[in-house]
């Protein structure tokens, strides 16, 4: 190779570079448009599916002679779900606290030289009372 060919780029390489840049720009534009179309199509599908499910469930309930507004049902079930999650959290926290209180009581009974069988029985009884208090909490 001569030095002339190394220093001056060939016109073909320049054209290839320009073509590659144009292709990259077209790909970016196409990708952007595709993303917008996919997002819009997804919104339409979700909206259509929701309407179809609501209509089908209302129709089914109507056939059964039950009149229920699906939106009210969804709102009520969301409220119920929140209450159920809170109840589960309260149960497990109460159970954990009860277990620690029972362990403190058992240690105190052992230090007081209470019989092992009585410690076990009273500990289980106290734990049952603690669980009942957690479950029947107003």
Between 64 and 123, where is the model more confident?
123
DSSP 81-122: HHHHHHHHHHHHHHHHHHHHHHHHHHHHHHHTT--HHHHHHH
Residues 25 and 4 in one domain: yes
Residue 52 predicted with pLDDT over 80: yes
pLDDT at 138: 65
d(CA 135, CA 138) in angstroms, rounded, equals 9
Average pLDDT of the chain is 83
Q: 36 and 20 in one domain?
A: yes
**Residue range 54-107, pLDDT digits in tens:** 788 777 777 777 776 777 777 788 889 999 999 999 999 999 999 999 999 999
pLDDT at 57: 77
State whether the Cα torsion 95-98-104-106 is positive or negative: negative
Residue ranges making up the domain that contains 90: 69-138
Residues 63 and 85 in one domain: no
Structure tokens given for 49: 């599916």
One domain for residues 93 and 32: no
pLDDT of residue 106: 95
Global pTM reads 0.47
Distance of CA 42 to the CA centre of its chain: 20
The pLDDT score that the predictor gives to residue 2 is 52
Based on the fold, state whether residues 30 and 63 are members of the same structural domain.
Answer: yes
Pairwise CA distance, residues 57 & 51, whole Å: 10
Residues 10 and 50 in one domain: yes
Residues 61 and 96 in one domain: no
Q: Which of 50, 68, 86 is the last residue of a domain?
A: 68
């Amino acid at each position: 190779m001569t030095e002339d060919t190394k220093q001056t780029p060939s016109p073909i390489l320049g054209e290839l570079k320009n073509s590659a840049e144009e292709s990259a720009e077209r790909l970016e534009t196409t990708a952007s448009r595709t993303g917008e179309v996919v997002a819009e199509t997804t919104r339409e599908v979700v909206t259509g599916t929701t309407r179809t499910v609501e209509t089908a469930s209302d129709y089914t309930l109507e056939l059964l002679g039950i009149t229920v507004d699906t939106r009210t049902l969804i709102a009520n079930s969301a409220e119920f779900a929140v209450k159920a999650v809170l109840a589960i959290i309260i149960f497990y926290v109460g159970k954990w606290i009860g277990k620690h209180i029972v362990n403190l009581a058992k240690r105190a009974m052992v230090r007081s030289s209470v019989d092992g069988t009585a410690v076990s029985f009273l500990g289980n009884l106290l734990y049952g009372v603690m669980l009942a208090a957690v479950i029947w909490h107003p």
